[in-house]
Amino acid sequence: MELLILVLIVFVVGYLLSRNQTTIVSQTTKTSKTVTEKSKSLGTGARHGWNRLFGRWQKKPDFTTWAVGPGASELPDDFKEWLISLPENEKKEFVEALSAYASGLDFDLVALIDGRMESQPQMKRVFVETIVIYSNAYRKVAKARAESEAPVAEPPKETGSSGERQPAEKVKSRRSANPEMVEPAVMA
């Protein structure tokens, strides 16, 4: 009987200890996840604060420099020539519009320029194709706007040998040529 009581006591103590052990492990896991998340958020906040504080003095990546430098092999020649030929203010407008368009597709133009997309060659290739397609559409729209805003040229005036404007030729009416075909209007 004493042996049965001793086995029962060992069983109860073992159960209580294992339950406490599980609770301790789950609390430790929860605490480590919390610490990890907090440290990530602190690191991100510190990086943003650093960039905000000292980012003004860092040279901003330039799309045009990238397009004729490291990215030149990936872009068509006509695109590079067109981009280089743009005046500075139009280049800036194009790059801003391109950046806005790219961010709408979850692409980051700065990540492409500074080389962060090198580890994702498939996405980089798709992004470069997107840039080329967007630039073609951007050029067509700019050309259409320029043509629509340009003053409309008047048609050339017809002049005779003396330099005066000639009157238009008169053509006989079809009705007067064949009076039988003309039906009189019926009034009811």
The structural domains of the chain, with segments of one domain joined by +, span 1-58, 63-148
d(CA 70, CA 87) in angstroms, rounded, equals 22
Phi and psi, residue 165, nearest 5° = -75, 135
| Residue 86: exposure state from Cβ atoms within 10 A (0-12, 13-18, ≥19) | middle
> What is the average per-residue pLDDT within 93-110?
88
65 pLDDT band (50/70/90 cuts)?
confident
Q: Does residue 40 carry a pLDDT above 80?
A: no
DSSP track, 121-161: HHHHHHHHHHHHHHHHHHHHHHHHHHHHHSPPPPPPPPB-T
Distances (CA, A) of 175 to 81, 134, 169, 183, 188: 62, 58, 18, 10, 23
Specify whether the CB–CB gap between 120 and 107 falls below 8 A.
Answer: no
d(CA 104, CA 157) in angstroms, rounded, equals 51
d(CA 77, CA 38) in angstroms, rounded, equals 48
3-state secondary structure of 2: helix
The gap from C-alpha 3 to its chain's centroid, in whole angstroms, comes to 78
Among 50-54, 96-100, 110-114, 124-128, name the one with the lowest average pLDDT.
50-54
177 pLDDT band (50/70/90 cuts)?
low
Note if the pTM is more than 0.85.
no
Specify whether the CB–CB gap between 114 and 66 falls below 8 A.
Answer: no
Mark out the alpha helices in the chain (DSSP H runs): 2-54, 63-68, 77-85, 88-104, 109-113, 121-149, 174-177
Residues in the chain: 188
d(CA 63, CA 109) in angstroms, rounded, equals 8
9 pLDDT band (50/70/90 cuts)?
very high
